[in-house]
Structure 1
Amino acid sequence: MSNGVMVIVLVSVIFGVLYEMYKKHLQFKAKTLKYNQQNDEQSNELKQQVAQLTERVQVLEKIVTDEGYQVQKDINNL
C-alpha cells in the first residue's frame, strides 16, 4: 500500500509540474505574439516614413538640379 500511495503522489507531482510548464509556455507564446505584432506595426510606420523621406529627397534633387535654381544661386553669389 505504501508503494501505491508513493506512485500516486509522484504521478500527481509530475503532472502538476508539467501543467505549470505548459501554462508558462502559453504565457511566453502570448507575449511573443504581442511583441511581434508591435514590431510589425513599428516596421510599417518606419517603411512609410522612409517612403515619405525618399519622395522629399527626390523633390529636393529636382529643385537643386533645376537650371533656374542654379541661375538664382549665381545671381545671389554676385
Structure 2
Amino acid sequence: MSGTAMVVAIVFISVGFGVLFDMYKKHLEFKEKTLNHNSQSNEQAVAMNKQVQALEERMQVLEKIVTDEGYDIRKEINKL
C-alpha cells in the first residue's frame, strides 16, 4: 500500500467511526426521551386511576342515598 492510500484509508475509517459514534449518541438521546415520556405517562395513569376510584366511591354513596327508603319520604316532605 502506498502512503497516500493509507492516509485516505485512515481518513475514511476516522470519519466512519465518527459518524457511527454520532448515530449512537442520537440513539441514546432518543431512548432517554422515550423513557422520560413513558414515566410521565405512567404517573398520569396512576393519577387518573386514583381519581376514578374516588369517583366510584362517591357514586356508591349517592346510590345508597337514592335507594334508601327514607329518601322518598324526605322527598315527599320537601314537596309539601
Normalising by the smaller structure, the TM-score range is over 0.9
- Give the deviation of 1:75 after TM superposition: 2.1
Partner of 2:9: 7
The runs of 5 or more residues in structure 2 that have no matched partner are none
Partner of 1:76: 78
Q: Which residue among 56, 62, 67 is the counterpart of 1:65?
A: 67
The alignment covers a number of residue pairs equal to: 78
Q: Distance in 2 between matches of 1:77 and 1:12?
A: 90
Which runs of structure 1 show a deviation greater than 4 angstroms over 4 or more consecutive aligned residues? none
The runs of 5 or more residues in structure 1 that have no matched partner are none
Partner of 1:33: 35
- Give the deviation of 1:64 after TM superposition: 0.7
Partner of 1:17: 19
Q: Which residue among 44, 62, 71 is the counterpart of 1:42?
A: 44
- Give the deviation of 1:77 after TM superposition: 2.3
- Structure 2 counterpart SS, 1:32: helix
- Give the deviation of 1:70 after TM superposition: 1.0
Q: Distance in 1 between matches of 2:16 and 2:6?
A: 15
Identical aligned pairs, as a percentage? 58
**RMSD of the alignment, in Å?**
0.9
One-letter amino acid of the structure 2 residue matched with residue 56 of structure 1: R
Q: Distance in 1 between matches of 2:4 and 2:72?
A: 99
